[in-house]
Structure 1
């Protein structure tokens, strides 16, 4: 049985649209009437929720009381990862996008076969298990002193642009570039401002529609000179992760 708030919101949608229970059932391709749903006798199916989103832009999270935003704009930017890769045990692994690969990343962002050319790493830490992570190599000096050219950042997927914080660093995948920046969103405005830590680079505005993915940086790794090959890179990443794992386990004991 749905909770009372969900049922109330479902009824409000129907009434605000001016439909009777029979008419609304026909619109949503439900047999006979919506009366049983509104009384809590019949579960609100995923198919009905999908129709409400498709036809009336109703936000499913709002319907279930987890958001105050009732409508999803047709042009709403989706910043969730377009492709997720898994290892042989069906665990998500972390794809590593070096500076050279980043040049082609925006154009190949939905091409599953393209990701196969990139090294992928199975993270041994439980903290990395319940989310999607990706590694990106820092290019240029716009984020000095925090991030140096050639360093790597490990970043967690962001599901919605509304979740970004002005105090964090992000990897932003645009239509034609992969950038590491801070993000500021002006109140009551759609505009997004990308900010470098290096004062030599002025902030600049972009529209949310230009963003394909957002990843929140939560750690960085500096590799030695022998990490130029894929094998060297993965070995050093493995060593860095084992070191983190040991630190984590030592902290728990």
Structure 2
């Protein structure tokens, strides 16, 4: 199996050559201090900031960069479910943005507005399960996914590249043009539509057209808080404490 560093270096070089830039010119465009030579040789890791710039300026699919997709460019039409924006922390590593219930109301309308994401809290989880992929945290609203997910809990979800990759055994965060929902998904056998299914049987399933989905995230884990986290600030504080605890546990394992 080809090493991930080799894949990234090869594909990064391929992009530069396709665009017709020298190593120095490409470095200036991407905010790199010198040239892109060390990245192309595999000596320097591709930072989250550079990944974000490649997506923003040239619509390069981050999943393709890391060898997880054959689709090089992001399709910015409504038929693409790939994340429209990725963000980085002060160390230029891609981080995990957290979308609480209040922010979710404005998420679909601001999905491509990079400045809008700056208002949202974001964290870096130094766990191997959350590396080399784009993750986002969403707060669960409503009781449609009971008993598995309770209102106010958080789900950590991995970006999905293609609607055809969905599994009936998984839960997904579905970003529509006017709402952010957590549902199970199922392809309609007779049409090109997608069925949205709640675990709570009081909510009947319903179908939507594929082009109505702006982004799709597969739920990989959840974070549950105690009953004392009754306010939005309290929830975010406990979420931050939980993530700091995970970081501490990870460091202990490494040592």
| 1:245 CA displacement | 5.4
Contact 1:125-1:241 at 8 Å conserved across structures: no
Contact 2:196–2:207 (CA under 8 A) maintained in structure 1: yes
Structure 2 residue corresponding to 1:211, chosen from 210, 213, 220: 213
Residue among 228, 231, 241 paired with 1:228: 231
SS in 2 for 1:216: strand
Q: Which stretch shows the higher mean deviation, 169-178 or 232-241?
A: 232-241
Q: For 1:136, which of 135, 138, 148 is the aligned residue? A: 138
Q: Give unmatched runs, 5+ long, in structure 1.
A: 1-42, 48-60, 68-72
- 1:241 Cα deviation (Å)? 3.1
Note if 1:239 corresponds to 2:241.
yes
C-alpha distance 149-109 of structure 1, shift in aligned 2 (>3 A) = same
Matched with 1:195 is 197
Contact 1:151 1:220 in 2 (8 A): yes
1:243 Cα deviation from its structure 2 partner: 4.5
Q: 1:141 to 1:74 in 2, by over 3 A?
A: closer
2:169 alignment counterpart? 167
Task: Give the TM-score, by structure 2 length.
Answer: 0.65
Bigger Rg over Cα: 1
1:89 matched residue in structure 2: 91
Equivalent-residue separation in structure 1 for 2:168 and 2:253 (angstroms): 30
Counterparts of 1:66-81 in structure 2, within 5 Å, are 77-81=79-83
Cα distance in 2, alignment partners of residues 143 and 202 from structure 1: 12
RMSD of the TM alignment (CA)?
3.1
Whether 1:107 aligns to 2:132 is no
Cα drift, residue 120 of structure 1: 1.0
State the alpha-carbon separation in 2 of the partners of residues 46 and 206 from structure 1: 38
Residues 1:179 and 1:151: Cα distance change in structure 2 (over 3 Å): same
Partners of 1:248 and 1:88 in 2: CA distance: 21
For residues 23-58 of structure 1, the C-alpha deviation after alignment (integer angstroms, 9 at most, x for no partner) is xxxxxxxxxxxxxxxxxxxx9x857xxxxxxxxxxx
Runs of 4+ in 1 over 6 A off after TM superposition: 73-76, 246-253
Distance 1:96 1:227, change over 3 A: farther
What's the CA shift for 1:226? Answer: 4.0
What's the secondary structure of 2:110's corresponding residue?
A: coil
How far apart, in 1, do the equivalents of 2:155 and 2:84 lie? Answer: 19
